[in-house]
Amino acid sequence: MSTLRHFLDFQQLEGTALRDILDRATAYKNGAKAPSLAGKTLALVFEKPSTRTRISFEVGMQAMDGKTVNLTQGDSQLGRGETIADTARVLSRYVDVIMLRTSEEKNLLEMAEHATVPVINGLTDASHPCQLMADVMTFEEHRGPIGKKRIAWCGDGNNVASTWIQASARFGFELRLACPPSRQPAQALLDWAAKAGGQISAFDDPLTAVADADCIVTDTWFSMGQSNGDGTRQLLGPYQVNDAVMQAAKKDAIFMHCLPAHRGEEVTASVIDGPQSVVWDEAENRLHAQKGILSWCLT
């Protein structure tokens, strides 16, 4: 069995490992010196666009004295059909850790199976665990330990929602979902989370879902690779996070969004640019969280 420390998703990572990573990230943010990654190189492989994930990994790696190399589908042999397995074998001869952003989860699993260095999930259609490390960190900075707190998700039951579901099981908070019936997260994931100790419930009405919530979260109605179908805006419109939704939560509830955001769609400008929004802290914490993940994978 591999002893490599892959960072693939919260179903494969113990709560203790996730807490270890968060502790590292928080310590680095508060001024503790991160371990040196001098002589180490991170390969960033992007089959989809990115701003935060790419830059936070690059800057994080530089801050730890390591180096990065970038590969995108269009400018590599991946775009011409070279397999993920062969790419994994080759990259492992050059670099010390690989981050992959891809569509299908099976690509990530193939990369991890054939790499001989740790592999980090930089987002798939199924999950976005690097994002959730920053999200939990941000929540705890603003509201203290997340265990037993109430988080409400309004909108598309997408990859980020799915990772919140996994996180509910791993960190012991309550998650209330308000998603249209045709955009619910996968039932198999909900079943796993219930068995793993997650406290998750689904609501038709966002105002009911957010009652007494400590935090409201949403994400784009159009994830990368999804078509901008005409019906989507009508379908998801009732799940928009607006002032009425924020007012139905706890008075001091915070608002989070992984970004990029679309004002007037999943969230109004009054909310994302308003006093309860912590999205810029959340974006900053991607950097600290990446350093925590890199240090956990490599040292």
Identify the CA nearest to 189 among candidates 198, 180, 176. 198
Query: Among 130, 154, 179, 258, which one carries the catalytic annotation?
Result: 258
Does the protein bind ligand NVA through residue 160 (CB under 6 A)?
Answer: yes
Q: Report the sign of the C-alpha dihedral through residues 121, 190, 143, 238, in that order.
A: positive
Nearer Cβ to ligand NVA, position 46 or 139? 46
User: Given candidates 102, 162, 220, 295, which one binds ligand NVA under the rule CB under 6 A?
Assistant: 220
Q: What is the CA radius of gyration of the chain?
A: 19
Binding mask 30-69 for ligand NVA (x = CB under 6 A): ----------------------------------------
Smaller CB separation from ligand NVA, 194 or 224: 224
Closest approach, Cβ 101 to ligand NVA, in A, equals 9
The answer to whether the CB of 267 falls within 8 A of the CB of 273 is no
Look up residue 252 and give its two tokens.
């001091």
- CA nearest 193: which of 234, 165, 232? 165
How many angstroms separate the CA atoms of 294 and 298, rounded?
A: 6
Q: One symbol per residue from 245 to 274: x for binding ligand CP (CB under 6 A), - otherwise; what is it? A: -------------xx---------------
Site string for ligand NVA, 235-264 (x = CB under 6 A): -----------------------x------
Nearer to ligand NVA, 29 or 48 (CB): 48
CA distance 144 to 138: 9
Query: Smaller CB distance to ligand CP: residue 92 or 285?
Result: 285
Per CB under 6 A, 291 contacts ligand CP:
no
| Residue 51 binding: pick among ligand CP, ligand NVA, none (C-beta 5-8 Å cut-off by kind) | ligand CP
First to last CA, the chain: 19
Rounded least distance, CB 50 to ligand NVA, Å: 8
Which residue, 255, 223, 224, 218, is CA-closest to 238?
A: 218
Q: In this structure, is the dihedral angle defined by the CA atoms of residues 36, 98, 167 and 134, taken in order, positive or negative?
A: positive
Question: Per rule CB under 6 A, is residue 53 in the interface with ligand CP?
Answer: yes
Q: Can you point out the beta strands (E) in 113-219? A: 119-121, 150-154, 174-178, 199-203, 215-218
Distance CA 161, CA 166 (A): 9
Active site residues: 101, 128, 131, 219, 258, 286
Chain positions contacting ligand NVA, by CB under 6 A:
123, 158-160, 219-220, 223-224, 258
